[in-house]
Structure 1
């Protein structure tokens, strides 16, 4: 597991990079803080200062990768060395899909990824709710998920998001019992038709994994559920945020209709791991 010092160093480096480059990095802190082993994290130090970092975040057969280098220490090969180590680890673990994550405005990262043969797969928009009056809603029930709901949660990921079943199983099992998190199931007429997860931290409430079975989409249920969750979290004093992929145009319009606006964007590139490095 990562030590407290390593976690503090990673957080400090993240802030330095974000301020210098005027962007926002996505490091999956939820997973970083719960590492059982540090074999998925690669850190380069000089004189007790963290110079570069690369993290691998596994979701079943898919692994996401994100990293950073201290301003002033770039173009010295630090990140390339960590990247090679990370890709060797990904090859060893036999991940079927490697996604490289970089802020949309990070031109240097884009150039690096393209030079290494990666191609843009999709863009994920980070959105923030702009306070507005939302109407009271009804016609559904939100309840906390139980262990009996795991199969339905996996089914929802597969049918609504197109996630591989093994990835959905790994992802849903991992997020069980997260602190300050509500995993809510959506019931209509005593039938479970969707789910939505709310993670609260540092005054922010983040919405994840919001989906409804395809047969129930387009009936206005999603907008009602979203309005209810946003209203509840806002009333508790939280700012409300979420991520949504560009290719999911229907979801993007839904969030915008409730009052969400884009504040950042992350590009995801697919990388085909090589067997050898020169």
Structure 2
């Protein structure tokens, strides 16, 4: 587990890289702070008292993602390669057949380094922030769509496993591990979507970033899609977070046209693109 000084050093290095490169890094700060974070997930390189390189592994169910950074003044010195080799030597990556590297699309240095380890581009994701639409009226609910939400309970686990297998093509072991990780986080809250008294979907809100509320893992049961349920619950979440003084955010794959249209129609606008590269091990 990272100590408070290391976490502060990571945040400082992140700010330097983002300001100098004109990018936004996706470092999942809430996961770095989890007391349950496993060993050999974080790799740091210091020069004296200054952190100049950082690489982190993130477990999303049984999948591992990688993100990191090197101080702009210390690049092309093999620092990130050394951190990557430390991660490989730790044995932590032996549990998966492939990993995903996350890099901001605007980054110039990341794609060059990823070429050296023969990664291939996999997909991109829009990060979107909500902005109120002039005509948006939250009070004008569709009376034919009786949608609400309730807190997630342990008894919901099997249904969430089923929803994620259908909606995201994840296996049960990966989803169960993700749910266990969520239970350790005070800043991630899962809800279940209810339609006419029946549980028909799920979503998670993440409150790690000050002033923001991130929605992810949003899925509606295939038997209930196309009935306006997703739009209704999305508008409810937007209204709730907006009234609490938080700006709703969401991520969506650039190829997911249906979800993208829904989010845009509800007021979300893209402000950054994150690229993902796949490496088979």
Query: Which TM-score tier does this pair reach, normalised by the shorter chain?
Result: over 0.9
3-state DSSP of counterpart to 1:72: helix
Alignment of 1:152-167 (within 5 A): 152-167=159-174
Mean CA deviation greater in 222-231 or 149-158: 149-158
Per the alignment, do residues 240 and 268 of structure 1 end up closer, same or farther by CA in structure 2, a change over 3 Å counting? same
* Residue of structure 2 in register with 1:16 after alignment: 16
- 2:95 match: 94
For residues 94-115 of structure 1, what are the alpha-carbon distances to aligned partners after superposition, in whole Å with 9 as ceiling and x for unaligned?
Answer: 2122011100111221121123
Gaps of 5+ in 2: none
3-state SS of the aligned residue for 2:124?
strand
Give the structure 1 partner of residue 138 of structure 2.
135
3-state DSSP class of the match of 2:74? coil
2:257 pairs with 1:252? no
Show the 5 A alignment for 1:193-212.
193-201=200-208, 202-212=210-220
Q: Pick from 263, 268, 272: which aligns with 1:264? A: 272
Structure 2 CA distance, aligned partners of 1:177 and 1:41?
Answer: 18
Q: Contact 1:16 / 1:70 at 8 angstroms: preserved in 2?
A: yes
- CA–CA distance in structure 2, aligned partners of residues 72 and 183 of structure 1: 41
Comparing 221-230 with 153-162, greater Cα deviation is found at: 153-162
Change (3 A) 1:92 1:212: closer
Conserved 8 A contact 1:230-1:240 = yes
5 Å-filtered alignment, 1:159-198, equals 159-176=166-183, 178-198=185-205
Structure 2 residue aligned with 1:223: 231
Task: Give structure 1 regions of 4+ aligned residues with deviation exceeding 4 angstroms.
Answer: none
Partner of 1:238: 246
Q: Is this contact kept in 2: 1:153–1:172, CA < 8 A? A: no
Aligned-partner SS, 1:2: coil
Q: Deviations over 1:215-235 (max 9, x none)?
A: 222221111110111011101
C-alpha RMSD over aligned residues: 1.6
How many residue pairs get aligned? The number is: 273
- How far has the Cα of 1:88 moved from its partner? 3.2
In the TM superposition, what are the counterparts of 1:4-153 in structure 2 within 5 Å? 4-35=4-35, 36-89=37-90, 93-132=94-133, 133-136=136-139, 137=141, 138-153=145-160
Per-residue deviation, residues 65-108 of structure 1 (Å, max 9, x unmatched): 00100111000110111112223335654212201110011122
Separation in 2, partners of 1:92, 1:228: 40
| Segment of structure 1 superposing worse, 243-252 or 34-43 | 34-43
| Contact persistence 2:56–2:67 (CA under 8 A) | yes
Is this contact kept in 1: 2:61–2:176, CA < 8 A?
yes
CA contact (8 A) 1:42 1:86 kept: yes
Matched residue of 2:23: which SS? Answer: coil
Q: CA deviation at 1:147?
A: 1.1
Instruction: Give TM-score scaled by structure 1 length.
Output: 0.93
